[in-house]
A = this chain, B = another copy of it.
Amino acid sequence: SKENNGGVTRNLPVDAVINLDHGDPTMYESYWRTLGDDECTFVIKGYESLSYFSNPKNPCWFLEPKLEESIKSLHGAVGNAATDGYSIVVGTGSSQLLQAVLYAVTSHDQPNQINVVSAAPYYSSYPEITDLVRSGLYKWAGDAHQFDKNEPYVEFVTSPNNPSGVIRGPVVNGGGGILVHDLAYYWPQYTPITSSLEFDIMLFTASKCTGHAGSRIGWALVKDKEVAKKMTKFMEVITIGVSKESQLRVAKILQVIVDRCKCFGSPEGHNFFEFGKNLLTKRWEILRETVKQNKMFILPKYPLQHCNYTGDVTQAHPAFAWIKCKDGTDCEKLFRNHNILTRGGRKFGSDPGFVRVSMLGREEEFNLFIDRLSMIQIFNKGDGHENENLD
């Protein structure tokens, strides 16, 4: 199985384990390489940003003013979320902001833990984050579809959804809960932008917007000033703020995207979202074609919608493929046998027939994934001449 596969020279050995479990957004590296160093290289001198404080006048005193400005410019240019009248709270990724929200909307006086729910299939980290230290303030209460208690709750609304890519709204009947909109994937490369959202609490992250996952920068747009203050307090106690280097670098990167994102469709403009959308469109076409050929799997379908940002009528090309084995086989196990690491459906509150596969890896990893997916077809048809590759 070490032989050259189809004459294509690869850096990865043909039997390399490919990790598509995390949504590691390395496909964006090739975009950032095409831009000149002057434009997006971040430089900081030895004596800069020593202080804990970024802006003592801002209730979120550790938020760099340049990052705040870039975030507002970017939402303005893309039109995916309102920022007027919102407080911005920065976090060490949006994971930390989720916890800050839970802390901010609960109270030390409440007799019971507040219920935290999200509609299945939900992001696998929600239950883990919520229950990690067995908080007395909040507890994971599972699938929002099943929640029928007459008790206070927080509902995470993930739209587009991780893992399934679909646009969602809250599902708990009766209402009265606190809604947290996790909008990590509400960017034009993944899904049509159909309106500028104005929810009470909206979470975003650089990881999935620009590809800079290593920077660990997330931000929350928060309508209620008191909630924003309590979130800031949480971050103050837990990590005394957020890396200045990451904030300043991401501020620069977002500004580069803004400067280049006004002209969609001009081939020389190096529009970031156009790069992302084109590459994901291509990958989804290849994936759909492969799945169609081997007849073993099912992929979600996404409606055609008008995107206010691109001006096109288009369907979603999500960051993850939410794949189901037609015959109910444990899909994570099947893929692991082919040296493809994915995340099984059970972790998302769904069934093991499903897996979540990252579509954001490097070109080489994606190609190897597609090659192996094709081989699964051959094996299962009983053709079997390639089955030396399968264990």
Contact = CB atoms under 8 A, between A and B. Distances in A.
Interface of A: 22, 24-26, 28-33, 35, 37, 39-47, 49-54, 92-93, 95-96, 99, 102-103, 108, 125, 128-129, 132-138, 207, 211-216, 234, 237-246, 249, 253, 256
Give how many copies assemble into the complex: 2
A249 B213 contact: no
Contacts of A207: 52
A51 B37 contact: no
B245 A243 contact: yes
A70 to B, nearest CB: 14
14 contacts: A37-B46, A41-B43, A41-B44, A50-B212, A51-B214, A96-B239, A125-B237, A129-B237, A132-B234, A136-B136, A214-B241, A214-B243, A216-B239, A243-B243
Nearest to A108: B134
Nearest to A31: B47
A26 B46 CA distance: 12
Given A136-B133, A242-B216, A46 B40 contact: yes
A245 B135 CA distance: 31
Contacts of A22: 52
Nearest to A34: B47
Contacts of A253: 46
Given A95-B240, A249-B245, A47 B24 contact: no
Contacts of A238: 95-96, 99, 129, 132
A134 B132 contact: no
Nearest to A33: B47
B52 A24 contact: yes
Contacts of A249: 44, 245
Given A108-B134, A240-B95, A51 B24 contact: yes
A255 B186 CA distance: 41
Nearest to A242: B216
B26 A51 contact: yes
Can you list the 9 inter-chain pairs with the closest CB atoms, starting with the nearest?
A40-B46, A134-B136, A32-B47, A214-B244, A243-B243, A245-B245, A32-B46, A49-B214, A133-B135
Contacts of A53: 24
